[in-house]
Amino acid sequence: MCGIAGILNFSEKRVDPVLLVRMVERIGDRGPDDFGIYTDKRAGLAHTRLSIIDLGAGQQPMHNEDKSLSIIFNGEIFNYLELRKDLVRKGRSFRTRSDTEVILRLYEEKGEQCVQDLNGQWAFAIWDSKRERLFLSRDRLGVRPLFYTISEDAFVFGSEIKSIFALPNVSREIDPIALDQIFTFWVSIPPRTIFKNILELPPGHSLTVHRKQIAAQQYWRLDYAEGAKNLGSAAAHEEQYAGELLDLLVDATRIRLRSDVPVGAYVSGGLDSSFVTALVKKFTETPLRTFSVTFDDAEFDEGSYQNEVTHFLETDHQEVRCSCEDIGNVFPAVIWHTEKPILRTAPAPLYILSELVRAHGYKVVLTGEGADEMFGGYDIFKEAKIRRFCAAHPQSTTRPLLFRRLYPYQPYLQGQSDAYLRAFFHVRPHELKSEFFSHLPRWELTSKLKMFFSEDIKSQVRSHDGYADLRSTLPPGYSAWDAFCRAQYLEAAYLLPGYILSSQGDRVAMAHSVEGRFPFLDYRVVEFAAGIPPHLKMKVLNEKYLLKRCANGLVPPSVMKRAKQPYRAPDGKSFFHGSQLEYVDALLSSDRIQQDGLFDSLAVKSLVQKFRQGRAIGVRDNMALVGILSTQLVVEQFVRNFGDRPFYAEHRAGTASVCR
């Protein structure tokens, strides 16, 4: 796990190594163990390394014998041993034991099609100096990040946006359209990012740059055509599905334990992480240490379930307690790493947790990420199902009572009268026809936050239609998929990479040089899950039905039975709890809001007042506060004062190895 960065000059002009050093220094957290750079007559590659596999010999950039190919790579190829064996059989020789070299040799063998053979999580760049082609690729689901920008005379890329901003002459400006998208979908739609002219290589894509020609290709996509086809035919095969799935998960977990350093696991107290931990304990010989975060606030704390899991599975366990104050204190650092506005504080405790992991000397953790998306765990899937069921008989007074089965962790919703419950979940006729049916309530609620936009931003985004943007990125055949699969796709293709795996995943883990690995996101598991009939994912209203069947007996019975509780953390109140936070006062002050020009100062003032008086209890108010504050932190740390943050290099020993 590492960080990569590079520059390709369109004309023949050597890249200044100092620029490359600056780029990787900015992302030094991603790889504190070593770093290296390479330049030739027009390309420059830089790499900062966290040593996990082949500790002694895996230095990068890595080259082939005649140095016509150079690779920099962030991530892991979990099936590298099998691929290596295969390549050796075909006559390729290897100089190292690293997975990096496997990619390089595979590229020699297969060219750009090499990505089809990889099972892993990656962002890499290969410079083919003979053909003058730069080839970039990002893993299927978007576990590892990759950003780029195109200027008059160069193509510039990096693992994080801050590495690109390290260059002079790259402008740092907020994109109002991206802001509008985040304040609708919680994410911007790739390749768009919150910064104008900074693009993200979407998951499942590769990109080639040859002179000034830049072309992206999608080499893989999540496809639910199979799942829709199987509908209704598979009840008899339930047992078979469960058996096959367990075999796949065992293997996905096994290959994710390949590492030359010890591997840990996160335990949230829910089914998914418990299952992953159980797979390690029961099916491998790996000694396992587990880590978890607990909360002062009982509303969010899952400590008792975590204890049950760690006792049941007899793991060596460490935990860190997180308070509202802690979240308030680390939030600016968290946004420095997320590099985008977020609507929830949930990444903050995970930032604190990765610090704990690192403090115990661990660099790698397995987690349960992806199970809810792939196997149908989220309440939004259940909500869509009930809404459809109610809409089929709009006059029914009993059907809406099913909404009480939703969001058991939201007391305010649970306390509503039947009449209000009906009203809140009322399905309007146009919604039934929408391809976004499942997500309309969430997106419409989130869109309410735009009332806080300044007049200027409102006028800039007025003619923009976020739904049309999203529609234009949907895969062919989407509208023919089963409704449940469409909802899954919207979660898995947008929110998963844009928020769960990035703001809540890679960025806050790598902040402390910790790498996450996700057995549920092995592409074989993902493709298998996509082919499971929807009624086996959620049986009536029993979420993750098939996955639970697989996990039966492997995790504590109480964890199997408990109501689904999504991972959440205290939001707005984290910033108005105990001692006043200086940065909150400064960034939300009317003067500052007016100067930055993104939000309406009067509205923000009323919102802040509502929080200070302890009256802001709703989801909408909390999302608004976190969204506005994180946006202001993005402006402060990236647009206004980017140069002021001390270079990582100042805090570390070691020197760069410069090779030419």
Partner 1 sequence: MQNIEQELRQFVVDNFLFGQPNGHLSSSDSFLDKGIIDSTGVLELVVFLEETYRIKIQDRELVPDNLDSINNLVRFLERKLQHTS
**Residues marked as catalytic:** 2
Cβ-in-10-Å burial (0-12, 13-18, 19+) of 216 comes to: middle
Residue 359 lies near partner 1 (rule: CB under 8 A): no
Bridging pattern class, strands 263-266 and 364-366: parallel
The site map against partner 1 for 372-391 (x = CB under 8 A) is: --------------------
Tokens read off for 264: 């840990």
Rounded Cα distance between 380 and 375, Å, is: 13
Rounded Cα distance between 394 and 384, Å, is: 15
Q: Minimal distance in Å, beta carbon 599 to partner 1?
A: 11
Q: Minimal distance in Å, beta carbon 627 to partner 1?
A: 14
Of 57, 480, 563, 617, which one interacts with partner 1 (CB under 8 A)?
A: 617
Of 64, 416, 460, 589, which one interacts with partner 1 (CB under 8 A)?
A: 416
Q: Minimal distance in Å, beta carbon 621 to partner 1?
A: 8
Q: Dihedral (C-alpha) 49, 51, 54, 60: value to the nearest 10 degrees?
A: 0
Q: Minimal distance in Å, beta carbon 632 to partner 1?
A: 16
168 within 8 A of 147, measured Cβ to Cβ: no
Q: Minimal distance in Å, beta carbon 448 to partner 1?
A: 6
Residue 547's φ and ψ, nearest 5 degrees, are -65, -40
Of 619, 649, 656, 659, which one interacts with partner 1 (CB under 8 A)?
A: 619
Residue 413 lies near partner 1 (rule: CB under 8 A): yes
Rounded Cα distance between 631 and 633, Å, is: 5
CB-nearer residue toward partner 1: 398 or 417: 417
Cα distance from N-terminal residue to C-terminal residue, the chain: 24
Residue 213 CB coordination number (10 Å): 9
449 within 8 A of 185, measured Cβ to Cβ: no
Of 122, 452, 478, 518, which one interacts with partner 1 (CB under 8 A)?
A: 452
Q: Minimal distance in Å, beta carbon 198 to partner 1?
A: 31
The site map against partner 1 for 422-451 (x = CB under 8 A) is: -xx-------------------xx--x--x
Q: Which residues pair with 517 in a beta bridge?
A: 366
Positive or negative: CA dihedral 43, 47, 52, 57: positive
Q: Interface with partner 1 by CB under 8 A: which range of 49-57, 246-254, 515-523, 601-609? A: 601-609
Residue 615 lies near partner 1 (rule: CB under 8 A): yes
CB-nearer residue toward partner 1: 434 or 606: 606
> Which residues lie below 8 Å from residue 216, measured CB to CB, with a gap of 6+?
191, 201, 202, 205, 206, 207
Positive or negative: CA dihedral 158, 159, 161, 163: negative
CB-nearer residue toward partner 1: 94 or 420: 420
Q: What is the DSSP letter of 458?
A: H
Residue 395 lies near partner 1 (rule: CB under 8 A): no
Total site size for partner 1, rule CB under 8 A: 29
Residue 504's φ and ψ, nearest 5 degrees, are -100, -5
Q: Interface with partner 1 by CB under 8 A: which range of 180-188, 300-308, 541-549, 599-607? A: 599-607
CB-nearer residue toward partner 1: 225 or 603: 603
Of 420, 459, 473, 595, which one interacts with partner 1 (CB under 8 A)?
A: 420
Q: Minimal distance in Å, beta carbon 475 to partner 1?
A: 31
Residue 602 lies near partner 1 (rule: CB under 8 A): yes
Residue 647's φ and ψ, nearest 5 degrees, are -60, 145
Q: Minimal distance in Å, beta carbon 25 to partner 1?
A: 42
CB-nearer residue toward partner 1: 284 or 460: 460
Query: SS3 of 308, please?
Result: helix
Q: Which residues pair with 63 in a beta bridge?
A: 70
Q: Minimal distance in Å, beta carbon 215 to partner 1?
A: 43
Tokens read off for 399: 């059907």
Give the rounded distance of the alpha carbon of 46 from its chain centre.
Answer: 24
Q: Interface with partner 1 by CB under 8 A: which range of 101-109, 199-207, 332-340, 614-622? A: 614-622
Residue 612 lies near partner 1 (rule: CB under 8 A): no
Instruction: Determine which helix (DSSP H) or strand (DSSP E) holds 492, and give its type and residue range.
Output: none
Residue 405 lies near partner 1 (rule: CB under 8 A): no
Rounded Cα distance between 229 and 485, Å, is: 11
CB-nearer residue toward partner 1: 406 or 501: 406
Bridging pattern class, strands 515-517 and 364-366: parallel
Q: Minimal distance in Å, beta carbon 607 to partner 1?
A: 6
Of 168, 232, 415, 476, which one interacts with partner 1 (CB under 8 A)?
A: 415
Residue 299 lies near partner 1 (rule: CB under 8 A): no
Residue 620 lies near partner 1 (rule: CB under 8 A): yes
Residue 401 lies near partner 1 (rule: CB under 8 A): no
343 within 8 A of 623, measured Cβ to Cβ: yes
Q: Interface with partner 1 by CB under 8 A: which range of 29-37, 273-281, 355-363, 409-417? A: 409-417
89 within 8 A of 104, measured Cβ to Cβ: no
Closest CA to 253 of 243, 242, 263, 261: 263
Residue 183 lies near partner 1 (rule: CB under 8 A): no
Of 339, 491, 571, 600, which one interacts with partner 1 (CB under 8 A)?
A: 600
Given the rule CB under 8 A, which residues bind partner 1?
410, 412-413, 415-417, 419-420, 423-424, 444-445, 448, 451-452, 600, 602-607, 610, 615, 617-621
